[in-house]
Amino acid sequence: MANSTGIQALVFDVFGTVVDWRSGVAREAQAFLNRHAPGLDPFEFADAWRREYSPAMEEVRSGRRPYVRLDVLHRENLVKVLNRLGITGIPEAQIDALNLAWHRLDPWPDAVEALYRLKQRFIIAPLSNGNIRLMVDIAKRADLPWDAILGAEVVRAYKPSPQVYSETVEILGLEPAELCLVAAHNGDLAAARRLGLSTAFVARPTEHGAHQTTDLKAEQAWDFVVDDLLQLAGQLGCTR
C-alpha cells in the first residue's frame, strides 16, 4: 500500500462528511410530524435534534457520565426536543422508530464512487461518533464499502477526545502520519492533527442548510483541502 504520501489508511467523519444527515432526518421525520405537529418544518426539527448532539456527548467526554452509545443519546435528545416542542403522549414504539432516522441517511452524491476508488489503494473506515450498529446500517443502506467499522464505540469515547484518534492508530497498527482523517469539520481535524494524524478537509457548505455559517472553508493548512471526496481520490492517485 505504499504511496508517495506515506498514508496507508483513511478514516472518515460520517455525519456531514460522508452522509447528508440533515436531509435524511428531515425526510424520516416528515410523516411523524404530519401526525403529531403538522405545522412544524421537518428541517427545523432536524436542526433542533442535532443541536442536542454535542452537549449530550460532552457529558460523556467530561467524565460526568459513563460512555453510552450514540443511539442512546439520540433517543434521549429526541425526547427532550419533543417535550420542548409540546409534542407529548407519543407511544414509545413511535419514538424508537423515529430514532432510527439516523440509520437511514443518504450519502452525498460524490461519496460512494470516491470510497470505492480509495478502497483500491487504502484501508478505509468510518471514525464516527456513531455506534457500530448505526454505522453498519448506514453503510448497508448507502453502499459504503468500509473495510472496518471504527470510531467512538470501539474506543468508548467521543471525538474530539484524544484517545479516539490515538487508539485508532494503534488498532490499525500504523504510525500516526500513516492515518489520514477525512472530515468536513475543522475542529475534528485539529484534534487529529494534535495526535500526529494526516488530515483532509472536504467542504460541505450545505451540511446545516443554505445558511450555514461554520466550516465553510479550511481554517488551517490541512494536508489536503478538497471540494468533494472524488477530488481527494484524484489527489491520492485513485482516479478509477
> Mind listing the pLDDT tens digit for each residue in 168-201?
999 999 999 999 999 999 999 999 999 999 999 9
Q: For 30-41, what is the mean pLDDT?
A: 95
Q: For 138-148, what is the mean pLDDT?
A: 98
> Which pLDDT score is estimated for 5?
79
In this prediction, residue 126 has a pLDDT band, given cuts at 50, 70 and 90, of very high
Q: Tell me, what DSSP letter sits at residue 125?
A: E
Domain's final residue, options 81, 103, 125:
103
pTM for this one?
A: 0.95
Q: DSSP 3-state assignment of 10?
A: strand
Is the domain of 229 the same as that of 144?
Answer: yes
Q: Tell me, what DSSP letter sits at residue 151?
A: E
Is the domain of 96 the same as that of 114?
Answer: no
Is the domain of 52 the same as that of 138?
Answer: no
For residue 3, tell me if it sits in a domain: no
Q: What is the pLDDT of residues 202-221, one digit of tens each?
A: 999 999 999 999 999 999 99
Best CA proximity match to 19, nearest among 178, 168, 139: 139
In this prediction, residue 34 has a pLDDT band, given cuts at 50, 70 and 90, of very high
Is the domain of 176 the same as that of 204?
Answer: yes
Domain's final residue, options 103, 124, 156:
103
Is the domain of 146 the same as that of 225?
Answer: yes
Domain total of the chain: 2
Is the domain of 123 the same as that of 197?
Answer: yes
For residue 71, tell me if it sits in a domain: yes
Residue 112's CATH number? 3.40.50.1000
Is the domain of 96 the same as that of 166?
Answer: no
Is the domain of 112 the same as that of 200?
Answer: yes
State the Cα–Cα distance between residues 130 and 138, nearest whole angstrom.
10
Q: DSSP 3-state assignment of 181?
A: strand
Domain's final residue, options 50, 83, 103:
103
Q: What is the pLDDT of residues 5-29, one digit of tens each?
A: 799 999 999 999 999 999 999 999 9
Other beta carbons less than 10 A from residue 86's beta carbon: 8
> Which pLDDT score is estimated for 239?
84
> Which pLDDT score is estimated for 2?
41
Is the domain of 45 the same as that of 147?
Answer: no
Q: Residue 90: which domain range? A: 21-103
Is the domain of 116 the same as that of 220?
Answer: yes
Is the domain of 156 the same as that of 94?
Answer: no
> Which pLDDT score is estimated for 3?
56
The torsion angles phi and psi of 224, rounded to 5 degrees, stand at -135, 140
Report the chain's mean pLDDT, rounded to a whole number: 96
- Is there a cis peptide before residue 145, judged by omega within 30 degrees of 0? no
Is the domain of 195 the same as that of 124?
Answer: yes
Sorted by sequence, the CB contacts under 8 Å of residue 52 that are 6+ apart come out as: 77, 80, 81
For residue 2, tell me if it sits in a domain: no
For residue 193, tell me if it sits in a domain: yes
Q: What is the pLDDT of residues 56-73, one digit of tens each?
A: 999 999 999 999 999 999
